[in-house]
Amino acid sequence: MSGHTRTPAKHIACGAVVPGCEFTATATSEEELLKQVVAHAAEKHGVTEITPELAAKVKAAIQTR
C-alpha cells in the first residue's frame, strides 16, 4: 500500500468553449487553471474582458481528473 495520495487535477480543453481550439491546460487547483486560461484567452483569442457568461462557460468546462 502506497503512502502517496493523488491530488485530483483540474483540466480544461479550450475547444469546449471555443470550437476548434486545441489548447488544453491542467493544474492542481482551479485558481491555477484559471490563470492559464485567462493568459491563453488574451493571447490567442484577444479576450480582454471576462464576462459573466464566458466565466460560466469556462467553469462548466472544467473537469476534475
Q: What pLDDT does 7 receive?
A: 79
User: pLDDT grade, residue 59 (50/70/90)?
Assistant: very high
- Please say if the pLDDT value at position 6 is more than 90: no
The span from the CA of 40 to the CA of 5, in Å, is: 30
- What are the pLDDT digits (tens) for 27-41? 999 999 999 999 999
Whole-structure pTM value: 0.85
Can you tell me the mean pLDDT for 38-61?
Answer: 96
The span from the CA of 13 to the CA of 26, in Å, is: 9
φ, ψ dihedrals at 42, nearest 5°:
-70, -45
